[in-house]
Structure 1
Amino acid sequence: MSKTYDVIVIGSGIAATTVAMRVSAAGRSVAVTDFRPYGGTCALRGCDPKKMLIGGTSAADHARRMHGKGIAGEVRIDWRELLEFKRGVTDPVPEEKEKSFSESGIATFHGRARFVGPNAVEIDGDTLEASHIVLATGAEPMKLGIPGEEYLIDNEGFLEMENLPRRIVLVGGGYIAAEFSHIAARAGAEVTILQHGERMLKGFDPDLVGWLMEKYKEIGVTLHTGTEVKRIGKTGDGFRVTAAGDGGSRTLEADLVVHAAGRKPDFEPLDLKTGGVELRDGKLALNEYLQSTSNPAVYAAGDTAQMGPPLTPVTSHDGNVVAANLLEGNHSTPNYTGVPSVAFTLPPLARVGLNESEAHEQGLKFRTRCDRTPGWFSTRQQAESVSGYKVLVEEESGQILGAHLLGPHADEVINAFTLAVRHGLTADQLKDTIFAYPTGASDIPSML
């Protein structure tokens, strides 16, 4: 059976929802399809469920830091109860999302979509045709190409664990490894990270990452950098991980091994060739309007487009760009200036704008303010021991080029710096701002 729409959106996450809702509200006919439960990675398998688990572990961590400071008694994390707390928020999402689509007049389909022509896809026997097709399928864990790879669980598996294993090995050193290790260690697991690169969180300032590493030692996380996993083997109820690095080879026993080594879009099921959609260096070949350069009927947004940082706010931004171009013709282009990024470790690590090496590469003249701040009130009030900042200010204009924060409230305070970076505010303008006190943001003038 064949059906025709103005726009077909493949995916049901933030980018897909933004496009579908805006285009439908403008009176166009829209169909959405996803082979997974509706909601996308952020709501079901990433940001939101992760933050729910962090809510519990951070509460326990704060209580432990306050021992001897007015808080007494043993604090422990009940993993199953924490998981149920998380599910209370995430489990209703697919039904609520589909209901929202239906109430907006959007046709919903379930199943993998594959191109059967430049303007048509097939979904479980149904052929859908449209003037435009939007690819917003997100990203999947990258293939590592090692023996025993099938024994790895991904972020989705970790967030659905009924029980917390005693020994956990995380393969990788980005957001997933950084955040999941803090969750698992504070919940009582023995955690080891095997990172191929020379340090973790390579997208963040190296000095602040170094300070954060003190926290990893404090909570008992073992980190091996410059280490490549060679093999994963099954051993009864557990696993044996073989790795090699500068210090030679090592073997670790684990009850769980987690894939935390990066994600990228999975284009193979889409049959892009049949749709006339070309790839360039493994990425969709797109123009500045997020439109396919080989098939003008096709647009992409979010992680699928791979044009901006792989972050949830970017997917929403891309969705608005694509929707505007579908409705009014190509005129809107994405602006990725000043996109903040946060690693929700405990304490959190955040950045926006340029780091020092990027500023030097651009030939900019700037001054840097950098310090550790364990003595600041905002840190002491949280009974935290690790905090600090680094801020880059352009010499001639006084504009904020970049900000890098570590410590309590960093995930919120970074938004004030984001406003400055994105809209060209100066250090003097921020210093002249009266912030509520005592709050994390009231530290900003002292950083400038």
Structure 2
Amino acid sequence: MPDKFGLVVIGVGMAGLNAAKKCVNAGLSVAVVDERPYGGTCALRGCDPKKMLRRGAEVVEAARLMAGKGIGDTPRIEWADLMAHKRSFTDPVPKKMEGSLDEAGVVTLHGAVQFVGPAALQIGEREVEAAKVLVATGQRPRSLDVPGAEHLTDSTEFLELEELPRRILFVGGGYVSMEFAHIAARAGASVTVADRGKRPLKAFDPDLVDRLVESSKEAGIDFAFGASLAKVERRGGGLVATLDRDRGSIEIEADLVVNGAGRVPEIGHLNLEAADVAHGDGRITVTEHLRSTTNPNVYAAGDCAATDGLPLTPVAVHEGAVAASNVLKGDHRTADYAGVPSVAFTLPEIVRIGMSEEDARQSDRDVDVRFNETSAWYSNQRIGAKVGATKVIVDKTTDELLGVHLFGYGQAEVANLFALAMRSGLKAANLRRMQSAYPTHGSDVSSMLG
């Protein structure tokens, strides 16, 4: 006889973890299952380990900015030691997460999983029935169908490199390529980023991205724009990547070619058809309550769900909580995506919250764009930095914050102030009246709105 649960959560990342605990604490019988170690992308293969490696780059960058201003020799990154620092965080995660679930009363299962009916799952040799199922499987690196694709390294593998190669080509100009490129460049690698478009990080403000590209070049990062990967081949002891461009192809020699061409939802292995779970463009189709549009027993949250939410950890956690609430109390709660900050952790970082300038100008809003070149501001001068800019978009009639775009050191933390204001309905005038600790990056907010 199959085991029976009130809820089975597929995928033990942050969305699944929080949903499982919320439901078991409310008295529901809950099981979780993952064929990978518990922790998900963010904790094991994404945000957190990346930020651990970035710390080494931050130290090198901080010393470089202060060279000749009281700081002597620039430190160098010892890659193996930095990787060990990263693993000091990631290695304990699966055991700690499973222990916390066990302690909460959640049944923890491991193995490949697929639907075998509307409310039935096959987990290895074990069959499980569930009154409700929450799919929270996240995303995986997008595969590139080019000759020599077997020579490519994905983001997961990059985060496990025992040694950093001397020459690295990153394919794609999204978060993965740009963030890793900045880490690798500060670690001494020769780095190139190839992108099909005319600039990277297409979701961010183009004026600020252009400034980031220029500062990236000064940090030693080369760019090949308008370039698509055609093939990768091994020659001698290295790799050669052929990039197609309008004016002809070029070849780039590298020791490592990293596939940074985005991520796709990881749902192909679930046999969704057996459960009559509709999906399109690689994501599960859901209602505003995160319930499957075709199977009332199934919910989806995080990157695998077709919602308006950005593919970010805080959004996944929020959607997991919304789905869990609807499992427990019926469909009464919807997700709130207002004021969610998105950050590319380059050096310096770039931030977006809310509407782009283009979208704002095309709307029916009375738009006021408040742009500031911040390179000469005190908060930059103090650390020796020479780049920075902000763009805050305000509705002149209502004083509502429509969009916030930041580029500079420390701006990821400043973003949280704007995000809180936007989610709480505060106006630009409220932020201008804020009395901040001074001098801090946060104390620049009133000037950004001036």
Q: What is the TM-score normalised by the length of structure 2?
A: 0.98
The aligned counterpart of 1:227 is 227
Shift of 1:176: 0.5
The aligned counterpart of 1:445 is 446
Assess if the C-alpha contact under 8 Å between 2:267 and 2:283 holds in 1: no
The aligned counterpart of 1:75 is 75
Show CA shifts across 1:185-235 (max 9, x none).
010001111101221000000000011112111111111111110111122
Q: 1:437 to 1:264 in 2, by over 3 A?
A: same
Show CA shifts across 1:35-54 (max 9, x none).
11110000000000000001
The aligned counterpart of 1:166 is 166
1:321 aligns with 2:322: yes
Counterparts of 1:363-402 in structure 2 under 5 Å?
A: 363-402=364-403
| 5+ long unaligned stretches in structure 1 | none
Assess if the C-alpha contact under 8 Å between 2:289 and 2:323 holds in 1: yes
CA distance in 1, matches of 2:87, 2:292: 38
Shift of 1:365: 1.4
Show CA shifts across 1:252-293 (max 9, x none).
111111111111113221001011111134331211111101
CA distance in 2, matches of 1:155, 1:361: 36
Identity, % of aligned positions:
48
Q: What is the TM-score normalised by the length of structure 1?
A: 0.98
Shift of 1:13: 0.4
Shift of 1:246: 2.5
The aligned counterpart of 1:193 is 193
Shift of 1:423: 2.3
CA distance in 1, matches of 2:428, 2:161: 46
Assess if the C-alpha contact under 8 Å between 1:382 and 1:408 holds in 2: no
Query: Over aligned residues, Cα RMSD in angstroms?
Result: 1.1
Q: Which moved more, 1:108-117 or 1:276-285?
A: 276-285
CA distance in 2, matches of 1:74, 1:440: 25
Assess if the C-alpha contact under 8 Å between 2:196 and 2:226 holds in 1: yes
Shift of 1:438: 0.4
The aligned counterpart of 2:45 is 45
The aligned counterpart of 1:262 is 262
Assess if the C-alpha contact under 8 Å between 1:402 and 1:421 holds in 2: no
The aligned counterpart of 1:253 is 253
Assess if the C-alpha contact under 8 Å between 1:142 and 1:262 holds in 2: yes
Assess if the C-alpha contact under 8 Å between 1:139 and 1:264 holds in 2: yes
Assess if the C-alpha contact under 8 Å between 1:119 and 1:131 holds in 2: yes
1:55 aligns with 2:55: yes
CA distance in 1, matches of 2:306, 2:227: 27
Shift of 1:372: 1.3
Assess if the C-alpha contact under 8 Å between 2:54 and 2:183 holds in 1: yes
Show CA shifts across 1:315-334 (max 9, x none).
01101100100110000111
The aligned counterpart of 2:363 is 362
Tell me the SS of whatever aligns to 1:268. Answer: coil
The aligned counterpart of 1:127 is 127
Q: Which moved more, 1:64-73 or 1:256-265?
A: 64-73
Task: Tell me which amino acid in the other structure corresponds to 1:382.
Answer: I
Tell me the SS of whatever aligns to 1:270. Answer: coil
Assess if the C-alpha contact under 8 Å between 2:181 and 2:191 holds in 1: yes
Shift of 1:382: 1.4
Tell me the SS of whatever aligns to 1:274. Answer: helix
Shift of 1:405: 0.7
Q: Which moved more, 1:153-162 or 1:1-10?
A: 1-10
1:351 aligns with 2:380: no
CA distance in 2, matches of 1:175, 1:373: 23
The aligned counterpart of 1:154 is 154
Counterparts of 1:207-226 in structure 2 under 5 Å?
A: 207-226=207-226
CA distance in 2, matches of 1:137, 1:406: 32
